[in-house]
């Protein structure tokens, strides 16, 4: 069994919530709205909010990448 670190687990939760929200909108009988926002926090973290009828908040560590990609 592959154990995830708490940080990797939080990233996976955010990704799963985003995909589930998208699937919900695709299968919803009507219109909907999906919004994703990111905000840089102190200590090298990012706050990710996913808004789709409810607001879900995740805090993940930023990965160091050169070139801003």
- Taking only the tens of pLDDT, the chain with its 69 residues reads 567 787 788 899 999 999 999 999 999 888 899 999 999 998 889 999 999 888 889 998 887 666 655
Residue 15 backbone phi and psi in degrees, to 5: -65, -45
- Listed by start position, the domains of the chain span 6-62
Q: What is the DSSP letter of 5?
A: P
Handedness of CA 24, 25, 29, 33 (dihedral sign): positive
pTM above 0.85, yes or no: no
CA separation for the pair 23, 50 (Å, rounded)? 14
Partners of residue 52 on adjacent β-strands: 54
CA separation for the pair 31, 35 (Å, rounded)? 14
């Amino acid at each position: 069994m592959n154990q995830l670190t708490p940080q990797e687990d939080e990233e996976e939760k955010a990704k799963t919530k985003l995909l589930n929200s998208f699937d919900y909108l695709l299968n919803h009988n009507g219109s909907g709205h999906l919004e994703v926002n990111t905000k840089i926090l102190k200590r090298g973290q990012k706050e990710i909010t996913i808004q789709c009828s409810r607001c879900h908040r995740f805090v993940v560590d930023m990965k160091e990448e050169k070139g801003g990609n």
